[in-house]
Amino acid sequence: IVEGCMRLPLALKVIGASLKNQGEWKLKETATKIATGRQTVGDPFDQIVGCLESSVESLSDKQRDCFMDFICFPNNKRIRAAAVMDIWVQIRGETELGAFSILKDLADRHLIEVFERR
């Protein structure tokens, strides 16, 4: 996995978070996916995407839908957590607690960054 992710810290952090508390079979499955999908020649970006893809695949359908909602926001801009959670409550029918739980899980998997308000 380390070599397949080109030793890139972000890719390893995300993969590691997705494998946390998973069984050995999930580790082997992920290693196989990365090894078979790894390109020996080509753009390193493609290799990073391949490493991160397994983390997104490990999300539940609900978590994946909520994660994909971040596409609507500009890159590298901070978004209020309350705004995202409100979207999930209004559009996706989540409870506030459910929305918070999804936000926390995405952050725990290092798929999003959550900053404390200053």
Report pLDDT digits (tens) over 22-57. Answer: 888 878 887 887 777 643 334 455 656 666 777 788
Quick one: 66 exposed, middle or buried, by C-beta within 10 A (0-12, 13-18, 19+)?
Answer: buried
Measure the CA–CA gap between 2 and 74, rounded to whole angstroms.
Answer: 30
- Sketch the domain layout of the chain as residue ranges: 9-57, 61-108
Tell whether pTM > 0.75: no
